[in-house]
Amino acid sequence: MPTLQEKRLAYLEDTIQHYNSNNRAVKPDRKCVYIPVFNEHGEKISDGCAIGRKCSLNIAEKLSKTNCSIDMTESFNLLTEEMKELGVGFLVSIQKLHDSPDCWNAEGISEIGKEKVMKIKNRFI
């Protein structure tokens, strides 16, 4: 059975491998979009944010309606027990990494993003 640190590392690495500057799910006001995002042609351009894409569509929709950060009790309580186990501080760090445009480029994680990843690893893993 994986340790908490191993689960966190897997979540972080999956986030890094998945996103780039073109498929992040953020509104122009830099707010996270938990649900999948589609372009004007109906093509999916994002599975949702780093938290939302790991949730069922039902939970992601509820999170979107709260319009709150994952550190808000109302939002955190909607998560599965498996996600809650990762800890609110860790999930907030993942959410901030995802939401920061300077952390991503067309290829994936930017140099600034790599620095933030190291801070997440040092703090939580």
Closest CA to 56 of 79, 90, 86: 79
Q: How far apart are CA 56 and CA 107, in angstroms?
A: 27
Question: Tens digits of per-residue pLDDT, 22-81?
Answer: 898 876 665 668 999 888 898 898 899 999 999 999 999 999 887 678 888 889 999 999
* Radius of gyration (C-alpha) of the chain in whole angstroms: 14
Name the 3-class secondary structure at 112: helix
- Domain borders along the chain are 4-124
Residue 30 pLDDT:
58
- Average pLDDT of 73-91? 94
Q: Quick count: other Cβ atoms within 10 Å of Cβ 112?
A: 14
- Residues with Cβ within 8 Å of 4's Cβ and at least 6 positions away in sequence, in order, are 85, 86, 87
What is the DSSP code string of 4-65? Answer: HHHHHHHHHHHHHHH--TTT--B-TT--B--S-EE-TTS-EEES--TTGGGS-HHHHHHHHH
> What is the average pLDDT value for the chain, to the nearest integer?
91
Beta bridge partners of 44: 38
